[in-house]
Amino acid sequence: MSTDEPLISNAKLLAFGETILGKLDVSQEHAALTSRILLDADLRGVASHGMAHLVDFYVRRLQMGKINPRPELKLDSDQPSAATLDAGNGLGFVAGQHAMELAIEKAQTTGIGWVSVGNSTHYGAGGYYAMMALEHDMIGFSMTTGGRLVAPPGGLGRAIGLNVLSVAAPTSRDFPYVLDMATSVVAAGKLEIARRRGESIPEGWAQTASGEPLTDPAKLHPDSTMLPLGGTPVLGAFKGFGLTIMVDILTGALSGFGTSAEIDAGLTAAHCFGAMRIEAFQPLADYKERMERMIVAVKETPRRAGVDEIMIPGEPEHALAEQRRAHRRVPVHATVLAGFKEAAAELDVTWDLEDAQ
């Protein structure tokens, strides 16, 4: 265990999150939901979207009035298999949970359900919402706009968002297929982690305002940019760029709220959620049989030296989450804990995380 990243009790992290959000007029239900989704990211090893964001992303923005602690969710459009939701500028977790539940409900009836969401805020890790479909034998989709930090291929300025695309599908194994990806080379949270650890980042993740490779994550702001997936045109940047635009179409354009090129970068967001009921297309057993054939073919591929096993997207995260749930602890960087302690003192919240080893 790293002394910079002590292991902290899952239960105490959840309780701390619920309490500190409650101090800012977030309802107990919404505070518990937000904390649970943040912790879920840490359990799966997605530290870039986990509890590290509790204070900096959500507590501080609630304090500044940038997030409505008690939003009114309102349907602007409601069709048998589709809907548009106004999230009332509330916590993105609240809108995300509600919208995905609605998409699943519609898919139960019509076979497919899609809900586009506007007037929302950052919703954490997209995979959580896509995975909600799994227990209903459905394939789930989750997308969101992100902060406007990405330059288009050949560009130097911040033009598009750190948009996210997530898909989850049941398999015949004990783990699901889960794709949870930024349409930029990496999520901005990867730079936050590198900065906390005092590490450099690889060339190809970001560039300076003049287009030179950026390797110091602390120098991303104020005017450097991140790059679309692929990094450069020769390595497929137009594919990442195209995916970013696709997410913008399904979230910001379809909801009528605005794409990542238009909205207040990093403070507001648009989302889109989808569910497809497998039995509406073919028998579930047949689907799982085909999934098993594909998994076997992939895993039986000849391996490079030093590679023990070829893993399916979602498989390593599932294994890590099982391990961390069993141990009832997740690593949290010392600087994140320091931020928690400072916020706890400000808001008169009992501090009991340091003894949770």
**3-class DSSP state for residue 90?**
strand
CATH number of 72-285+314-327: 3.30.1370.60
Nearby residues of 78 by Cβ (< 8 Å), 6 or more positions away: none
Nearest one of 68, 105, 61 to 87, comparing CA atoms: 68
Tracing tokens 């890590």 back to the chain, one arrives at 320
d(CA 192, CA 198): 10
- At 315 the pLDDT is 98
Phi and psi torsions of 95, nearest 5°: -65, -40
For 294-333, the pLDDT digits (tens) are 999 999 999 999 999 999 999 999 999 999 999 999 999 9
Tokens describing residue 9: 């009790």
For helices 315-327 and 28-43, angle between their N-to-C axes, nearest 10 degrees: 110
CA dihedral 170, 171, 173, 178 (to 10 degrees): -60
Tokens describing residue 100: 């995905």
The series of mean pLDDT values per 10 residues for the chain, 357 residues long, is 83 97 98 98 95 95 97 98 98 98 98 98 97 98 96 95 97 97 92 91 95 94 95 94 97 96 89 98 98 98 96 97 97 94 96 69
- At 2 the pLDDT is 60
- At 3 the pLDDT is 66
- At 264 the pLDDT is 86
- At 356 the pLDDT is 45
- At 273 the pLDDT is 98
**CA distances to 23, 101, 125 from 131, in Å:** 30, 11, 11
